[in-house]
Amino acid sequence: MKKIINDPKTVVAESLRGLAAAHAHVLRVEDDPAIVVRVDAPVAGKVAVISGGGSGHEPLHGGFVGQGMLAAAVPGAVFTSPTPDAVEAAVKATTGDAGALLIVKNYTGDVLNFETAGELAAAEGLDVRSVVIDDDVAVKDSTYTAGRRGVGGTVLLEKITGAAAERGDTLDAVEALARKVIGQVRSIGVALTAPTVPHAGEPSFDLADDEIEFGIGIHGEPGIERTAVTTADELVARMVEAVVTDLPFAEGDKVLLFTNSMGGTPLVELYLAHGIAERLLAERGIVVERRLVGPYITSLEMQGMSLTLLKLDDELTELWDAPVNTPALRWGV
């Protein structure tokens, strides 16, 4: 294993210190338990949107803390859910009278621990709601989940609900908006290589040089099937088909297309794939009105990609376009 680290046991803590040093004008990091908090939190009169999960998916979630997005992020160890006390600490650090919305990816540990934290916070008089995102179309149940996994759609959900909270929407309204997004977003992922978790020291699964794992999750969980390496045209066509037919998306729909690197796929390949996806959607009469391309929800150094489609309307488009100032997303400010 070759990684730029000191000790596998301290990777997350040292990375968080670097995040805080690089973006002190946007966020702060608190220790024991570790949480990433918007620098001006709590923001009076505004809902706190909070998310989190295992580390190794950067910039998700800490890179999305800031104006117009998350009030706080709760990082666990690499590929490990954060503890309830850490989630509760994030709630207490950011939540005022307007309440808080917890965004939870559908992984068993995340769901249980965020649920416990929400109950603890509610017992202290805070109004805390939670939503679970399960946008992966690949498998119904997997290594980490009961039901579909929460993957790339999480980035879009955090941006849109964060924008609604920033403009002063009530907790009821932000929660309803979150459920709307969850109902209209779908994703699929593929892997060309496996990630290596620092404390494990070896790839998390074996994949031959001439194989692709189709339908993986963000931890490298098994997908639908293992196939031979093929052309980008064929691979992206299969990914588009899987996503479009699941909702299903229809001719005339306006969408946001998110083409994501799993960490090790370079932009030259990612833009190539994005261009193919845009062409295939246009051929179906699906209108791509907004785009996001880059490594925004990763799996360490895994080579691979995911495609996410969100069906847009005027409100969702307005909230996507709204100003955001975080380490990983910044526009309009």
CA 305 to chain centroid, in Å, comes to 13
Q: What is the DSSP letter of 35?
A: E
- Cα–Cα distance measured from residue 246 to residue 51, given in angstroms and rounded to the nearest whole number: 26
Are 195 and 300 in contact by the 8 Å Cβ rule? The answer is yes
Q: 3-state SS string over 230-285?
A: CCHHHHHHHHHHHHHCCCCCCCCCEEEEEEEECCCCCHHHHHHHHHHHHHHHHHCC
Cα–Cα distance measured from residue 54 to residue 60, given in angstroms and rounded to the nearest whole number: 9
Contact status, residue 16 vs residue 62, Cβ threshold 8 Å: yes
**Residue 258, strand partner residues:** 292, 308
User: What is the rounded CA–CA span in Å between residue 47 and residue 71?
Assistant: 9
Of 65, 47, 311, residue with least CA distance to 173: 47
Asked if 50 and 294 count as a contact pair (C-beta separation under 8 A), the reply is: no
> Per the residue annotation, which of 23, 61, 219, 274 is the catalytic one?
219
Which entry of 57, 61, 199, 274 is annotated as an active-site residue?
57
Extract the tokens encoding 291: 């785009």
CA distances from 14 to 5, 10, 11, 19 (A): 9, 6, 5, 9
Residue 274 known to be catalytic: no
Q: Which residues are catalytic?
A: 57, 219
